[in-house]
Amino acid sequence: METTLRGVGVSHGVAIGEVRHMGTAVLEPPAKQIPAEDAEREQGRARQAVEAVAADLIARGNLAGGEAQAVLEAQAMMAQDPELMADVDRRIAVGSTAERAVYDAFASYRALLAGAGEYLAGRVADLDDVRNRIVARLLGVPMPGVPDSDEPYVLIARDLAPADTALLDPTLVLGFVTEEGGPTSHSAILARALGVPAVVALPGAGELAEGTVIAVDGSTGEIFVEPSAEKRAQLEAAAAERKASLSASTGPGATSDGHKVPLLANVGGPADVPAAVEAGAEGVGLFRTEFLFLDDSKQAPSEEKQVEAYRQVLEAFPEGRVVVRVLDAGADKPLEFLTPADEPNPALGVRGLRTLLDHPDVLRTQLTALAKAAEGLPVYLEVMAPMVADRIDAKAFADACRAAGLKAKFGAMVEIPSAALRARSILQEVEFLSLGTNDLAQYTFAADRQVGAVSRLQDPWQPALLDLVAVSAEAAKAEGKSCGVCGEAASDPLLACVLTGLGVTSLSMGAASIPYVRATLAKYTLAQCERAAAAARATDTADEARTAAQAVLSGE
């Protein structure tokens, strides 16, 4: 009998197929004592297993490229964390086996972070995955992971670690559903990059029986269990109509009455550029530069290496706009040579621009490299700082850009509520704003973006978040400057219309989302988008905001 479940849709498209569950997690190793003379051997086994897992994660990242590479390299650094390894050694020294020491050390680390309210506590899937891979290697059992299957299927998991999501085969994995996660989790971002329909934060997903046929609508978040022939036909027809609409929509982003809304791509490095160009991106709205720095956590990449990587991206968009975010280190992206090791809460500590201002040589080298990379190219280079809190931050960044001889527009990311509320003040120092809605939601609602239990507060449709977007856009308009959105909110076609109605001047997203947003924007006038935005802001919940906007745009 057909039943309907609802989670959070995070990647567009419809998938219909049989359920296959993620491989069983590694069992807890037995707690048995070893003789003192075996301690050194066990410590060696632990170190070898850690290094092997880290190397495997880096290799997977190199194979996947782009955003996935940065995520997996960060996970490899987590595996090699010196404090964790010191704890493992201590546990072995008092009699634990290598596998039990790893298991207990990770459990202790996880509990410690959760108790301290640290940002990394939200990286549960990442942390557990690293532990499971190390323990599996030590026990000599198969790695937990994506099931083997010759037939296409829909993957069900409690959560998906980046190492699994990054290398999903779209020809076999029709879509995936998870119990945990949120709309801005690593897995959600990578699912959009892959173009795989996905739904997260679905309670009870693990109870779906192996082999059950389900239909996954990654746009609405609906899961239809044992869908009827009529429902299948309806979903397939809707998917075909959507595909035809995408094919018919080409060219620059604009509303039906010609109001231009440039559609840009979020990229993590040169590997992401081909997909962005193929999708018709009008430029890059967020070039994450962390991928270069994650190659070696102990030192910053040379100026020459940075110039080479930046130029590859800049050359791909002649006459286009490329917005580069300088290094955003700290919190979930710690770097040994930059990030303080003893912060009680890195998400609220020295991260982003604060880190760079503490290490002006690293910022100077990056800005100089960007200046050299842009020399002689007909590209519109814009450079922005992450985690700007106020005018003092904005001025410090603009001064650093000028001192490095950078001939580009300087901008500030709005990720902290204070920056939105005082946007007009910040715009006295910089030339544009870019809203990072993922972090802005996190800091507005005190809701970690990786924790499924608070996913409703991470929903970019939250009226309070829309209010902050509106305040920022209004400030930019008053100053005659631009205000874009580069967070995951821009990848939702309906929300893209609302953002346009709020006064946002450009939208940047994963390449796979660009055709959906372009086609949807082209259906409505600017006035309709403005009415939808007003209706959404007049509500009290994310669901009400979404429903109100949809009602306006559908003419109800």
Residues annotated catalytic, as ranges: 186, 486
Q: How many other C-beta atoms can be found within 10 angstroms of the C-beta atom of residue 270? A: 18
- For residue 286, the SS3 value is strand
- For residue 556, the SS3 value is coil
- What is the DSSP code (8-state) at residue 302? P
- What is the DSSP code (8-state) at residue 427? T
Angle at 289 between CA 285 and CA 294, to 5 degrees: 150
* C-alpha atoms less than 13 angstroms from C-alpha of 5 in its C-beta half-sphere: 21
Which residues, in sequence order, are CB contacts of 467 under 8 Å at separation 6+?
A: 537
- Report CA dihedral (427, 428, 429, 433) to the nearest 10 degrees: 10
- Report CA dihedral (149, 152, 156, 159) to the nearest 10 degrees: 80
Work out whether strand 222-225 and strand 213-217 pair parallel, antiparallel, or are unpaired. Answer: antiparallel
Handedness of CA 403, 310, 430, 397 (dihedral sign): negative
Using CA atoms, how far apart are residues 556 and 549, in angstroms rounded to an integer?
A: 10
Which of 78, 71, 122 has its CA nearest to residue 102? 78
Cβ–Cβ under 8 Å, residues 130 and 109: no
